[in-house]
Amino acid sequence: MTIPAAVGSDPVELPLGDFHPASGGVIRDARLRYRIFGDAALGHANGWILVFHALTGNADIDGWWGSVLGPGRALDTSRHAIVAANLLGSCYGSSGPAELSDGSFPVLTTADLALAHVPLIQALGIQHIALATGGSLGGMVALQWGRLTPVPVDRLVIFAAPARTSAQAIGWNGAQRMAIEADAAWENGAYPAGAGPQAGLAAARAIAMITYRSVTEFEQRFGRRQTRNPGQFDVDHYLRRHGQKLVERFDARSYVSLMQAMDSHDVGDLSAAGRQTAWRVREVVGVGIDSDILYYPREIRDWVAGYAAAGVTARYEEIRSDYGHDAFLIEFDQVERLLGDGRTDRE
């Protein structure tokens, strides 16, 4: 099936048919909701840019990477077309567990999330990708895309994502699931639309926010101050506010589903994964964040070295920031340079 490429930013839904995850089960009549920024004709002429979003992100990259999107920016709409889809399992229009009230949505892997984009690439008639990129969960999916892409990719830029999820990162996610499961409204995921474990999801998000930022930022930004509410530390107020904000826009079932995909993330043997990537991708850039306590910089360095040893043109770069893991969503100047030419400024 070929469908016309949408010009502009209105969401479009692509039917995938029945999708069969690697772990078993099936998503009946699956669909992928996506957006295109820029003129599809430019994408066909100069190459497309493919962007994968993070855990609670979405295809609205103008909302979270807007500073690097547009004419003359790293995601250059005057030269390329940019496409982003809501990941399977999320709750922003693509097929996800929020549509089922019985908790029967199958377990997904990051490879599944990447493979779900293959029909989109085919439907849009994309034959060449100039840049594929993403951060955190989006970086994991992008790393899998390097192994699985059906079309050549010039550059693959991976922000703050390991080749396999560490026990510590799985532990952080496990603590978040415990918070959700401790809420009586969780009901093993079998709750009706509009209901669910709001307190549990808010607590899970608070735990996550601790891993997304750094000790340095928390000390500088909050310290032991109590300026918001008497008797409440500012950092406590901050975490509760972010928990409530997520409750207002996200579904706990999708949160658990995508965390499971992150936990199982593993590209396998680095030599084999590197060889698979080498003949599909011209250049790979792995980007660590010096203050990241969720996916430590050494984890990115390790897979970059493994890929390079396998024959991939790969190198490591680093964002320097006090913001921790979330720096790829905050340090726009550094992200711009990395997406644009693949290098951070060197002193």
Residues designated catalytic? 136, 292, 325
Helices assigned H by DSSP within 100-233? 110-115, 118-123, 137-148, 167-181, 198-212, 215-221
Alpha carbon distance 221, 198 (integer Å): 27
**Over the range 161-174, which residues count as b (16 or more CB within 10 Å of their CB) and which as e?**
bbbebeeebeebbe
User: CB of 36 within 8 A of CB of 9?
Assistant: yes
Say if CB 93 and CB 13 are below 8 A apart.
Answer: yes
Nearest-5° angle of CA 300, CA 302, CA 306? 120
Distance CA 253, CA 276 (A): 33
- What three-state secondary structure class fits 254? helix
Residue pair 73/336 in contact (Cβ under 8 Å)? The answer is yes
User: 237's torsion region: left (phi>0), alpha (psi -120 to 50) or beta?
Assistant: alpha
Distances (CA, A) of 302 to 57, 72, 109, 213: 27, 33, 22, 22
Are the CB atoms for 147 and 280 separated by under 8 Å? yes
Residues 6+ apart with CB under 8 A from 196: 185, 186, 251, 252, 253
The neighbour count for residue 63, using CB atoms within 10 Å, is: 10
* Contacts with 82 (C-beta within 8 Å, 6 or more apart), sequence order: 36, 37, 38, 43, 48, 49, 50, 51, 61, 69, 75
Helix (H) or strand (E) holding 41: helix 40-46
